[in-house]
C-alpha cells in the first residue's frame, strides 16, 4: 500500500535563507506523527508546504498517490488535507457558532448550496453539535475575539477538520493552552482521530505529549530530518538529545512562545 | 538628435516633478502606514501659498531669488503647520483604526482643504510666473527651455540627496528607518514612535506644499488641481513600491521617461502613459518594483 | 424543516415601495424628486457597502454609475430604444461586464491598493469621457422621455411614472441584494474581511469571492447610474469623478452597513443634506461633507445604523428580560 502522504526532496528557500533542505517525510494511513525541533528548524514551513500555503522551491508532494505539489490550500482542503494553525485563524467578528457554521457550509456542503440562507436550522444544529463534541458548546454565542485562547485553539481545529479529512496537520495544538488543560485537549483530539483512523501530523514542543500520543516522531534540525522513526528510537537518538531534547533531563517546553518557527 | 535630447530633457523634467510630488506621500506611508489622500490638497495649498508669496514679493519689488525663497518658505511653513495640526488632532487619533476609515478621513481632509483654497482664492485661476519668466531661457541640444524648469531637475535631485542623507546618515533618520521597519520594536528600543510619526507627517506635508510651490510658477493655479496630483503621485509610488524612497525615485524616472517618449512618439497616448506604466508594472510585480517582502502571517 | 418566517427587511422594502407609490401623486414634487435621486444613490451605495463588508473601500464606484448612466443615454440616442426596462437591463449588464473585466485585475488587491487603483481607473475614464465626442464631452448627454413596456406617459404623468419606476427598481434590486447578503455567500464576503487565510483553507478562492463581490457592486452601480440618468434626464462625465464615488462612501459611512436598508436611509439623508447644504453654502458644501465625514470617523465610526440596532436590541433585551422574569415567576 502506498503512503497517504509522500514527499521527496522538499526544499524551500526564502532569498538566501533555506528553511527546508531537501527532506522526504511521509505518512502512512492512520499514523500519528509528531514533529519536534527547535524554533527555526523548519516545522511550520513543512506544514505550509504540505498544505499548499507555500510552494516548495524543489521537490514534490504526493498525496494519495497523486502529485499535489504547488496546489493552493483551497484545492488541498477539498482533497482531504486539513490544517490548524499555531495562531488560530478565525473569523473574529463572528460568534463561535457562526464560525463553525461557515466552516461546515463551505467545507462540507457542495458549492451550489452557497446561495442558501445562512441562518438555517440544520446548519445551526450541526454546528452546535460539533461545538459540544469538542466541549466548547458553552461558548457558542460568544464573539470569537472575546473567547479564551484554549477555546480558540479547539475551534480552529474543529473548523479545519469538520469535513472528516484524510490527513490532519496540527501546528502546535497545545501552545497557549494552560498546562493542566493541555494533556486533556490533545488526548481528546488524538482519540477522535484514532477512532476515524485519520492520519495526523502535529508539531509539538512538549516532549511528554509527543512521547505519549505520537506513533512516530520526525525530528527536524536546521531544515533537515535528523531522526525519523519509533518514539523510543528517536528520543534515544544522540543528535536529537544534543539538538532538541537536551541531555535526557525534563523535556524543554516552549509553551506560549509565538516566535515564528 | 534633437529629438533624443528633447526626450531626455523632458523625461528628466517630468521625472523631477513626479519625484517632488511623490516623495512626501511615500515617506508618510512608510512611517505612518497610511496613504494620505490629502497630500494632493497639500500640493494645492503650497501652490496657493507660493502664488501669494510671489505676488507680495513682486509688489514689494524684491529680487527674483527672494521671490522664490519667500514662496518656498511660505509653503514649507504652512505645510508644517497643517501637518502638525492634522496629525495631532485627527490622524493621530486614528492609529489602529481599519484602513478604510483612515483613508476616508484623509479624503474628507482633502475636501475641506480644497474648499478652503477656493474660499481664499475666490475660485479662479491664479498665476505666479514672474520668477520663471525673469530667469529666462537656456538652449539644450538646439531647443530652448526655461531655466527655471531645468533648475527644478537639480532641485529635485538635491532633495532626493537630502532625504537619502537624513535617512541614512543621521541619528534621527535611523530612528525613522527603524520605525518603518517595525514600529513596535522601535518603541521597545526607546524610540519616541509618536514623535517620529508627528515629525514625519509634518515633513511629508511640507514636502507636498513644497512640490506645489515649486510647480506654481509653471502652471495656472486653480482649485481641484490636487486630484490629479494624488492619483499620479500614487502611481509613481506604487510603481516603485509603496513606502520606499528609492522606489519613488525609480517610479518617477520610469514614468517620466515613458511620458516623454509617448509625448514625442505617440502623442495621443501621452495622458495615459502614467497609467499604462502602472498597469504594466503591477501586472508583473503586483506590489511594485522595490516593494519590501511581506512578513509571514501563519 | 425550515419554518417560514417573515423577513422584516423584505417586508420593510416592500412597505416603503408601496407607500411611496401610493403617495407619489400627493407629496410635493421636490420631495418626490429627492426620493427618486435617493434610489439611484442607494443602489450604488449598496455596492460600496458590499465591498466594504469584504473590507474593501472602493473609490471608483462612480465609474459604474457613469457606465450605467451613459448606457442609458447611448441606447436611447443610438438605438432609439426608450423602454425603461430595456435600458435598465442594458445598463446593469454593461456595468457588470466592465466590472468583470476590471475585477480580473483588481481582485488581487486589498486595502489602500484596491482603493487607489479603483480611484485611478475611474479618473482615467473621467478624463477620456470629457474628450470623447460620442459622450458629449464635458457637457454630457441628454436623455429623452421613457416608455414603460408600451406605456408612454407625458407631462406630469411622466414624472409620476419615473418616480414609481425608480422606487420599484430600487426595491427589487434591494430585495435581491438582501437575499444574497443573508445567504452563505453573504457571510463569505464578511469572512474575507475577517480572515483570508481561513477562507482559503476552507476551500474557497478569496480572489474569486472578491471578484464576484466587485461585479455585484458594479451591477448595482450600473443600475444606480441608470436610475440617476433617467431621473435627471441628463448624464455627464462628473458621474465618474472621484467626488461622486466619495458621496457613496459618505452614504455608507453615515448609515453604516448593518442591512440593505442602511444605504437607502443614508442616501435619502445625503440627498436632503445636499439640497440644504448647497442652498446654504453654495460653494462650500464639499467641505461641509468633509467635516461631517471627519466627525463621523472620529466620533461614530460604526455608522448610525449601529445606534439603531443597539437601541433595538437593548429594548428587546429589556422586554425579554421582563417577560422571562414574569415566566420565571409563574414556574416557581
| Residue among A79, A85, A60, A80 at smallest CA distance from A70 | A60
**pLDDT per residue as tens digits for the range B143-165:** 889 999 999 999 999 999 999 99
Predicted pLDDT of residue A185: 85
pLDDT confidence tier of residue A250, bands split at 50, 70 and 90: very low
**pLDDT per residue as tens digits for the range A75-133:** 999 999 999 999 999 999 899 999 999 999 999 998 889 999 998 899 999 999 999 98
Q: In terms of CA atoms, which chain B residue is nearest residue C105?
A: B283
User: Contact partners of A by the rule of 3+ C-beta pairs under 8 A?
Assistant: B, C
For residue A63, the distance in angstroms to the closest alpha carbon of chain C comes to 17
Is C75 within 8 Å of C90 (Cβ atoms)?
A: yes
Measured CA to CA, the distance from residue B169 to residue B166 in angstroms comes to 6
Q: Which residues on chain A place their C-beta less than 8 Å from a C-beta of chain B?
A: 15, 44, 48, 53, 85-87, 89, 171, 260
Is A47 within 8 Å of A83 (Cβ atoms)?
A: yes
Q: In terms of CA atoms, which chain B residue is nearest residue A85?
A: B298
For residue C176, the distance in angstroms to the closest alpha carbon of chain A comes to 11
Q: Which residues of chain B are within 8 Å of residue A260 when distances are taken between CB atoms?
A: 296
| Residue among C257, C246, C253, C212 at smallest CA distance from C53 | C257
Phi/psi of residue C52, each to 5°?
Answer: -65, -30
Size of interface A-C (CB pairs under 8 A): 90
CA angle A261, A147, C204 (to 5 degrees): 65
Domain spans in chain C, listed from the N-terminal domain onward: 11-242
Is B20 within 8 Å of B218 (Cβ atoms)?
A: no
Name A218's bridge partners: A35, A228
A105 DSSP assignment: I
Residue B88: CB atoms within 10 Å: 13
3-state secondary structure of B32: helix
Cα B227 to chain centroid, rounded: 13
Domain count, chain B: 1
Q: Which residues of chain C are within 8 Å of residue A83 when distances are taken between CB atoms?
A: 201
Predicted pLDDT of residue B295: 60
**pLDDT per residue as tens digits for the range B269-286:** 888 888 889 989 988 888
Predicted pLDDT of residue A175: 84
Measured CA to CA, the distance from residue C45 to residue C51 in angstroms comes to 10
Predicted pLDDT of residue C192: 94
Percent of chain A with pLDDT over 70: 94
Name A60's bridge partners: A8
Is B162 within 8 Å of B249 (Cβ atoms)?
A: no
B99, C242: Cβ pair inside 8 Å? no
Determine contact: B206 vs chain C, CB below 8 A. Answer: no
Predicted pLDDT of residue C58: 96
> If you average pLDDT over residues C316-326, what whole number do you get?
56
Q: Which residues of chain A are within 8 Å of residue B296 when distances are taken between CB atoms?
A: 260
Is B104 domain-assigned?
A: yes
Predicted pLDDT of residue B141: 80
Alpha helices by DSSP H, listed for chain C, are 8-23, 29-53, 61-78, 84-106, 111-129, 156-181, 184-194, 196-201, 206-232, 242-255, 261-280, 285-299, 304-331
Is B72 within 8 Å of B210 (Cβ atoms)?
A: yes
C201, A77: Cβ pair inside 8 Å? yes
Grid coordinates representing B150? 531645468
3-state secondary structure of A221: strand
DSSP count for chain B of H helices, then E strands = 12, 2
Considering only CB atoms, C290 lies closest to which of B35, B112, B272, namely: B112
User: What is the reported pTM?
Assistant: 0.91
pLDDT confidence tier of residue A249, bands split at 50, 70 and 90: very low
3-state secondary structure of A36: strand
HSE of C223, CA atoms in CB hemisphere, 13 A: 27
The residues, any chain, with a CB within 8 Å of residue B89's CB and separated by 6 or more, are none
For residue A85, the distance in angstroms to the closest alpha carbon of chain B comes to 7
Angle between helices B39-59 and B99-121 (to 10 degrees): 20
Is B295 domain-assigned?
A: no
Q: In terms of CA atoms, which chain C residue is nearest residue A51?
A: C201
Q: What is the CATH number of the domain that holds B145?
A: 1.10.3470
Q: Which of residues 274-293 of B touch A (CB under 8 A)?
A: 293
Domain that holds residue B104: 2-284
Q: What is the largest CA-CA distance in chain C?
A: 81
DSSP string of C139-161, one letter each residue: G-EE----BBTTB---THHHHHH
Predicted pLDDT of residue B296: 60
Which residue reads 531626455 in cell numbers?
B8
Is A153 within 8 Å of A185 (Cβ atoms)?
A: yes
Considering only CB atoms, C242 lies closest to which of B29, B112, B227, namely: B227
Q: Which of B20-24, B177-181, C147-151 has the highest mean pLDDT?
A: B20-24
Determine contact: B285 vs chain C, CB below 8 A. Answer: no
Q: Which residues of chain C are within 8 Å of residue A51 when distances are taken between CB atoms?
A: 201
pLDDT at A255 over 80: no
pLDDT confidence tier of residue B75, bands split at 50, 70 and 90: very high
B119, C112: Cβ pair inside 8 Å? no
Amino acid at each position: 500500500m502506498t503512503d497517504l502522504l509522500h514527499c521527496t526532496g522538499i526544499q524551500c528557500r526564502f532569498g538566501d535563507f533555506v528553511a527546508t533542505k531537501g527532506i522526504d517525510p511521509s505518512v502512512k494511513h492512520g499514523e500519528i506523527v509528531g514533529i519536534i525541533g527547535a524554533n527555526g528548524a523548519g516545522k511550520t514551513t513543512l506544514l505550509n508546504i504540505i498544505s499548499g500555503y507555500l510552494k516548495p522551491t524543489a521537490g514534490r508532494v504526493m498525496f494519495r498517490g497523486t502529485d499535489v505539489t504547488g496546489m493552493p490550500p483551497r484545492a488541498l482542503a477539498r482533497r482531504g488535507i486539513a490544517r490548524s494553525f499555531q495562531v488560530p485563524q478565525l473569523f473574529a467578528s463572528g460568534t463561535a457558532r457562526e464560525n463553525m457554521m461557515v466552516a461546515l457550509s463551505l467545507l462540507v456542503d457542495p458549492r451550489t448550496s452557497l446561495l442558501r440562507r445562512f441562518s438555517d436550522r440544520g446548519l445551526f444544529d450541526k454546528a452546535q453539535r460539533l461545538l459540544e463534541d469538542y466541549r466548547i458548546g458553552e461558548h457558542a454565542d460568544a464573539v470569537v475575539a472575546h473567547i479564551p485562547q484554549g477555546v480558540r485553539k479547539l475551534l480552529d481545529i474543529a473548523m479545519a477538520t469538520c469535513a472528516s479529512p484524510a490527513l490532519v496537520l496540527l501546528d502546535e495544538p497545545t501552545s497557549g493552552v494552560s498546562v493542566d488543560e493541555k494533556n486533556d485537549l490533545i488526548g481528546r483530539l488524538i482519540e477522535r482521530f484514532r477512532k476515524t483512523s485519520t492520519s495526523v501530523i502535529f508539531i509539538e514542543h512538549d516532549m511528554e505529549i509527543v512521547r505519549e500520543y505520537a506513533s512516530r516522531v520526525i525530528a527536524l534540525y536546521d531544515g533537515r530530518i535528523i531522526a525519523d522513526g519509533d518514539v523510543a528510537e528517536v528520543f534515544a537518538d544522540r543528535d536529537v538529545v544534543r539538538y532538541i531534547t537536551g541531555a535526557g533531563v525534563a523535556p524543554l517546553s516552549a509553551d506560549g512562545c509565538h516566535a515564528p518557527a | 538628435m534633437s529629438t533624443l535630447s528633447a526626450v531626455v530633457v523632458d523625461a528628466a523634467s517630468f521625472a523631477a516633478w513626479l519625484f517632488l510630488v511623490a516623495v512626501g506621500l511615500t515617506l508618510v506611508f512608510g512611517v505612518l502606514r497610511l496613504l494620505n489622500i490629502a497630500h494632493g490638497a497639500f500640493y494645492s495649498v503650497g501652490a496657493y501659498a507660493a502664488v501669494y508669496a510671489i505676488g507680495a514679493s513682486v509688489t514689494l519689488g524684491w529680487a527674483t531669488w527672494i521671490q522664490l525663497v519667500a514662496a518656498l518658505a511660505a509653503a514649507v511653513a504652512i505645510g508644517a503647520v497643517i501637518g502638525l495640526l492634522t496629525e495631532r488632532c485627527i490622524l493621530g487619533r486614528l492609529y489602529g483604526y481599519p484602513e478604510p476609515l483612515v483613508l476616508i478621513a484623509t479624503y474628507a481632509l482633502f475636501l475641506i482643504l480644497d474648499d478652503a483654497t477656493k474660499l481664499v482664492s475666490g475660485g479662479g485661476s491664479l498665476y505666479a510666473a514672474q520668477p520663471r519668466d525673469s530667469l529666462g531661457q537656456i538652449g539644450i541640444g538646439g531647443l530652448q527651455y526655461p531655466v527655471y524648469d531645468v533648475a527644478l531637475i537639480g532641485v529635485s535631485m538635491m532633495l532626493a540627496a537630502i532625504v537619502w542623507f537624513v535617512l541614512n546618515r543621521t541619528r534621527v533618520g535611523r530612528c525613522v528607518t527603524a520605525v518603518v521597519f517595525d514600529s513596535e520594536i522601535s518603541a521597545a528600543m526607546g524610540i519616541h514612535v509618536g514623535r517620529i510619526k508627528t515629525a514625519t507627517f509634518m515633513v511629508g506635508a511640507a514636502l507636498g506644499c513644497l512640490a506645489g510651490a515649486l510647480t506654481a510658477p509653471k502652471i495656472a493655479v486653480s482649485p481641484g488641481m490636487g486630484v490629479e496630483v494624488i492619483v499620479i503621485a500614487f502611481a509613481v509610488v506604487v510603481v516603485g513600491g509603496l513606502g520606499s524612497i528609492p522606489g519613488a525615485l525609480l517610479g518617477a524616472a520610469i514614468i517620466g521617461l515613458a511620458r516623454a517618449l509617448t509625448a514625442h512618439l505617440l502623442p495621443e497616448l501621452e495622458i495615459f502613459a502614467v497609467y499604462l506604466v502602472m498597469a504594466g508594472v503591477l501586472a508583473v510585480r503586483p506590489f511594485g518594483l522595490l516593494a519590501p517582502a511581506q512578513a509571514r502571517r501563519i | 424543516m425550515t419554518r417560514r418566517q417573515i423577513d422584516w427587511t423584505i417586508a420593510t422594502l416592500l412597505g416603503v415601495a408601496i407607500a411611496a407609490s401610493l403617495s407619489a401623486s400627493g407629496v410635493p414634487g421636490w420631495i418626490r424628486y429627492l426620493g427618486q435621486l435617493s434610489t439611484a444613490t442607494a443602489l450604488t451605495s449598496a455596492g460600496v457597502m458590499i465591498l466594504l463588508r469584504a473590507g474593501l473601500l472602493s473609490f471608483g464606484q462612480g465609474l459604474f454609475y457613469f457606465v450605467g448612466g451613459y448606457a442609458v443615454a447611448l441606447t436611447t440616442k443610438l438605438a432609439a430604444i426608450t423602454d425603461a426596462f430595456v435600458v435598465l437591463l442594458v445598463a446593469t449588464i454593461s456595468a457588470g461586464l466592465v466590472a468583470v473585466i476590471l475585477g480580473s485585475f483588481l481582485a488581487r488587491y486589498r486595502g489602500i491598493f484596491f482603493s487607489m487603483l479603483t480611484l485611478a481607473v475611474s479618473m482615467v475614464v473621467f478624463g477620456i469621457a470629457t474628450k470623447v465626442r460620442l459622450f458629449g464631452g464635458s457637457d454630457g448627454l441628454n436623455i429623452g422621455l421613457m416608455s414603460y413596456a408600451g406605456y408612454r406617459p407625458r407631462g406630469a404623468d411622466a414624472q409620476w411614472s419615473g418616480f414609481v419606476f425608480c422606487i420599484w427598481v430600487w426595491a427589487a434590486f434591494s430585495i435581491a441584494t438582501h437575499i444574497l447578503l443573508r445567504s452563505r455567500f453573504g457571510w463569505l464576503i464578511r469572512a474575507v474581511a475577517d480572515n483570508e487565510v481561513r477562507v482559503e483553507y476552507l476551500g474557497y478562492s478569496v480572489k474569486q469571492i472578491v471578484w464576484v463581490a466587485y461585479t455585484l457592486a458594479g451591477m448595482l452601480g450600473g443600475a444606480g447610474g441608470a436610475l440617476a440618468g433617467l431621473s435627471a434626464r441628463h448624464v455627464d462625465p462628473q458621474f465618474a469623478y472621484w467626488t461622486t464615488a466619495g458621496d457613496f462612501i459618505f452614504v455608507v459611512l453615515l448609515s453604516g452597513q448593518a442591512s440593505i436598508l442602511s444605504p437607502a436611509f443614508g442616501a435619502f439623508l445625503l440627498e436632503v443634506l445636499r439640497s440644504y447644504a448647497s442652498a446654504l453654502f453654495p460653494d462650500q458644501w464639499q467641505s461641509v461633507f468633509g467635516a461631517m465625514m471627519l466627525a463621523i470617523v472620529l466620533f461614530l465610526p460604526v455608522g448610525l445604523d449601529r445606534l439603531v440596532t443597539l437601541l433595538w436590541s437593548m429594548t428587546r433585551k429589556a422586554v425579554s428580560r421582563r417577560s422571562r422574569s414574569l415566566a420565571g415567576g409563574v414556574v416557581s
